[in-house]
Amino acid sequence: MDLNLKKKYIKYKQKYLKMQTKLIGGSYTINSSGIEKTQTLYEYPEFSILSDKSIGSGGSGSVKLGIIIKCSINPDLINKKVAIKAFFKDTHFSSEQRQQYEKQKMLTFGLDEVDRLVIDPQIATLYFDIKNGPLKDNLIYEYGGKTFDKYYNDSTVCNLENNKRIMIQLFKILFELAQRDNMHNDIKTVNITYDINDTNEVNIKLIDFGSSMSISKLNDGSENFRRRINMKTPETIYNFLNSNGLTDKFFEVNGTIGGKNYNIFNKWYYYPFISIVCYLFTGIEYSTGNPARINELIGKIYPFDDIVLKKKLLGVLLDNKNIIQFITENIKPEFHSYLDHLIELINLVCIGSPSERNNEHNIIEFLEKL
């Protein structure tokens, strides 16, 4: 090898290894004033971002795609794609309050640290918290890729091997978060992103932790779902009914799960996980997202009564025949030979009583053998 080329190679390799061992990401608080130099260029003393494309909007804010073109605070962030999240204000909360609420959720569960570089390969990292200038009250996140609602129609990557890869990744992410006391509480395809590596393999990241709740506080009753639930799981619905003083009467009448403790949230993600599995093989989420197929099974309730809705929802959710029939009727033809494995997985994961659900490691072992 040419000596100069060898020197360049060694220099590049050393830089690469340094980057691998150095944590890149984290939350830098930016207090300086920046300028909107053009409609697409934002300049601050610490960084400059080029952005011109909207990539989504939800209940709390809107998101634009950008790229960091300068960064004195951390040169390793140059050329990183970012998701620029602006927050809506309403009659109850300012955009700043919404922004700080979401950031606090990241801090609470150890997903971010103020002015310290933090990275997690399976969670979109928070880069900047902007206090002034044209991006005031924005949070700048690492761009994790396309939102997962686009995956099923992406014929270049939607295949059995990637589906199996995604199932393992998603379950492990949610299991890891549970160890950190985190109930993400808003699992759906638009809150998962995916990227494709050089060998056409898909890697996913989880985004949007603004609805997160503490598992330990839900377990001890210091937090509850009295007002509303985000996720359709037996424990969240039970908690909602119980917090409104309605579970005892309902379970006596229903007779299916009475007497068991459903206020255990350590394995809260089992049912949402299966909903995303359904999406992988049918293109339709079963119980997550909006619309979810389970809503059609419940039917319209007139006049609308939220308590009646939750009781019907729980009954449908607890009967695995419903989800097995759904996936059997809607599975993509090229995945049909895999159907028996999926039915086995559904019966392994979807067990109504949290205390009777299978051990997480057993499920991971099952997924890895599929």
Q: Which residues are bridge partners to 35 per DSSP?
A: 43
pLDDT for residue 13 is more than 60? no
- Domain shared by 137 and 72, yes or no: yes
Q: Do the domain assignments include residue 9?
A: no
- Domain shared by 114 and 157, yes or no: no
Q: Do the domain assignments include residue 327?
A: yes
Answer yes or no: are the C-beta atoms of 340 and 331 closer than 8 Å: no
- Domain shared by 134 and 161, yes or no: no
What is the pLDDT at residue 260? 65
**Mean of the pLDDT values across residues 192-219?**
96
138: domain range?
A: 22-142
Q: Do the domain assignments include residue 201?
A: yes
Q: Do the domain assignments include residue 186?
A: yes
pLDDT tens digits for 231-256? 999 999 989 988 888 766 555 544 44
- Domain shared by 257 and 335, yes or no: yes
- Domain shared by 168 and 71, yes or no: no
- Domain shared by 121 and 161, yes or no: no
Q: Does residue 45 have a cis bond before it (omega within 30 degrees)? A: no
Question: How many residues does this entry show for the chain?
Answer: 370
Which of these, 265, 136, 270, 134, lies nearest to 212 by C-alpha position? 265
Residues 6+ apart with CB under 8 A from 68: 47, 48, 49, 77, 78, 79, 80, 82, 127
CATH (domain of 333): 1.10.510.10
What is the pLDDT at residue 333? 97
> Which tokens hold the place of 20?
């691998």
- Domain shared by 180 and 82, yes or no: no
- Domain shared by 168 and 298, yes or no: yes
What is the pLDDT at residue 6? 46
Answer yes or no: are the C-beta atoms of 26 and 126 closer than 8 Å: yes
- Domain shared by 192 and 90, yes or no: no
Question: Among 124, 142, 160, where does a domain finish?
Answer: 142
- Domain shared by 175 and 304, yes or no: yes
Q: Do the domain assignments include residue 11?
A: no
Q: Is 269 exposed, middle or buried (0-12, 13-18, 19+ CB in 10 A)?
A: buried
- Domain shared by 81 and 137, yes or no: yes
Q: What is the pTM of this model?
A: 0.88
Reduce the DSSP state of residue 110 to 3 states and report it. coil
Give the range among 29-33, 61-65, 110-114 with minimum mean pLDDT. Answer: 110-114
- Domain shared by 98 and 194, yes or no: no
- Number of folded domains that form the chain: 2
pLDDT tens digits for 257-312? 555 678 899 999 999 999 999 999 999 999 999 889 999 998 888 888 888 888 89
Answer yes or no: are the C-beta atoms of 360 and 168 closer than 8 Å: no
What is the pLDDT at residue 52? 83
Reduce the DSSP state of residue 221 to 3 states and report it. coil
